[in-house]
Amino acid sequence: MNLNSLVILAILRNYSNRLLLYFDLKLLSKIKLIELSLQKEYDVFELGSKLGYLPYMIDRFIEMLGESETKELIKFNETTLPQSIRLNSLRNSFENSERLLKRKGIQLEKNTEFPESRAITKSPHPIGATPEYLNGFYMLQGKNSLYPPRILDPQEGELIGDFAAAPGGKTTHLAQLMNNKGVIIALEISANRCRSLKSNLSRMGVENTAVFQMDARNAKDFDLQFDKILLDVPCSGSGIIITDPTRKKSKSLKDILHYHDYQVSLLTTALNVLKTNGELVYCTCSLEPEENELVISDILKKADVKLSEIGVKGKPGITKFLDMDLEKNLTKTRRLYPHETNGEGFFIAKLVKNDE
């Protein structure tokens, strides 16, 4: 907390009733949150409600993490993640891009897991408005979203499907990992989002990708068999409350069940167009078991696929939720929680299609 906030807090304590009226409501709620998380030991439900969560969300976090870790998570969600970028070797070498950014006073910190990722530790300029950004030397991208393309591990000669592609953070990463060789078929249902996808592909110098505005559930119309598929499905987004606090309230349990059915249908059709022994990475930025382990569990029951180890940090997928016992091998999936990884929340699973 900086000096200004301390002074404001002191004033608030002394003259709260009279001065409250004069404060911008947004600033006020931010200050209240800081005070809340720093000074008082609240019961986890009370804290959740003060921070603006729907009660059902807290219930489920407790079911998955226990009370004390739920508190850690929801307090962490009130903090700000360090900005990070992915350097783009399709446009410039990492060294050159780093040199240009450093010359502008932008300070970067290397990431031990991904050679292409940098945290921004200081920037005198908005990082999304530099000439280097416009030239496609980097993408603004949270470090945890680099895992799914890295886990899919696309190779230069392969046919890759990206079946929920816009705005293209992961598509452009896949193209970079393939050195612009091979082919990516990027599917996106929304016309608006297709525009941002195309603009990112062009800015980042991607040349191996064909974009189709269509429902990925019709992917069989291509009559193609894909070597690998990335499926970064639409979801409730409870893993990204740290960057989008509206998600504390915007989704109901009914919405989550709707997402579950939609995700199962997307995954079912994607597996139908995957080659035998082909690999599929399924991911969400949700923490809800219905959108994660329960989707994979449904698929394991009806499709001829197996789960593969993905060997990244994070917690193993859960195998028990409410009164349900799930397949033990769901521990091969991964849950990346914000408070544990200092990044956005993700669920990741890798499936391999069995020989017929």
Asked if 73 interacts with ligand SAM (CB under 6 A), we say: no
Q: Is residue 19 a contact partner of residue 200, using CB atoms and an 8 Å limit?
A: no
CB of 182 to ligand SAM, least distance (A): 18
Q: Which residues contact 151 (CB under 8 A, 6 or more apart)?
A: 281, 310, 312, 348, 350
| Pick 197 or 330: Cβ nearer ligand SAM | 197
Stretch of residues binding ligand SAM (CB under 6 A), selected from 100-108, 214-222, 311-319, 343-351: 214-222
Asked if 188 interacts with ligand SAM (CB under 6 A), we say: yes
Asked if 344 interacts with ligand SAM (CB under 6 A), we say: no
CB of 224 to ligand SAM, least distance (A): 16
Q: Alpha-carbon Rg of the chain, whole angstroms?
A: 22
Binding mask 119-158 for ligand SAM (x = CB under 6 A): ----------------------------------------
Q: Which residues contact 180 (CB under 8 A, 6 or more apart)?
A: 90, 205, 206, 207, 208
Q: Is residue 174 a contact partner of residue 160, using CB atoms and an 8 Å limit?
A: yes
In angstroms, the CA 45 to CA 2 distance is 28
CB of 12 to ligand SAM, least distance (A): 39
| Pick 70 or 333: Cβ nearer ligand SAM | 333
| Pick 188 or 227: Cβ nearer ligand SAM | 188
In angstroms, the CA 336 to CA 313 distance is 8
Q: Is residue 317 a contact partner of residue 329, using CB atoms and an 8 Å limit?
A: no
Max Cα-Cα span within the chain: 74
Asked if 64 interacts with ligand SAM (CB under 6 A), we say: no
Asked if 170 interacts with ligand SAM (CB under 6 A), we say: yes
Q: Where are the beta strands (DSSP E) in the chain?
A: 84-87, 107-110, 117-122, 138-140, 159-162, 183-188, 209-213, 226-232, 274-284, 305-308, 315-316, 320-321, 324-325, 334-336, 346-353
Asked if 258 interacts with ligand SAM (CB under 6 A), we say: no
Q: Among 181, 173, 117, which residue's Cα sits nearest to residue 155?
A: 181
Q: Is residue 219 a contact partner of residue 161, using CB atoms and an 8 Å limit?
A: yes
285 is catalytic: yes
Among 51, 165, 281, 307, which residue interacts with ligand SAM (rule: CB under 6 A)? 165
Asked if 50 interacts with ligand SAM (CB under 6 A), we say: no
| Pick 98 or 291: Cβ nearer ligand SAM | 291
Stretch of residues binding ligand SAM (CB under 6 A), selected from 26-34, 209-217, 246-254, 271-279: 209-217
Asked if 216 interacts with ligand SAM (CB under 6 A), we say: yes
Return the amino acid letter for 123. S
Stretch of residues binding ligand SAM (CB under 6 A), selected from 9-17, 51-59, 106-114, 159-167: 159-167
Among 47, 81, 106, 164, which residue interacts with ligand SAM (rule: CB under 6 A)? 164
DSSP-derived 3-state class of residue 257: helix
In angstroms, the CA 257 to CA 291 distance is 8
Asked if 190 interacts with ligand SAM (CB under 6 A), we say: yes
Give helix 25-39 / helix 3-20 axis angle, nearest 10°.
120
| Pick 73 or 166: Cβ nearer ligand SAM | 166
CB of 123 to ligand SAM, least distance (A): 22
- Give me the residues that bind ligand SAM (CB under 6 A), please: 164-170, 187-190, 193, 215-217, 232, 234, 266
* Catalytic residue numbers, as ranges: 285
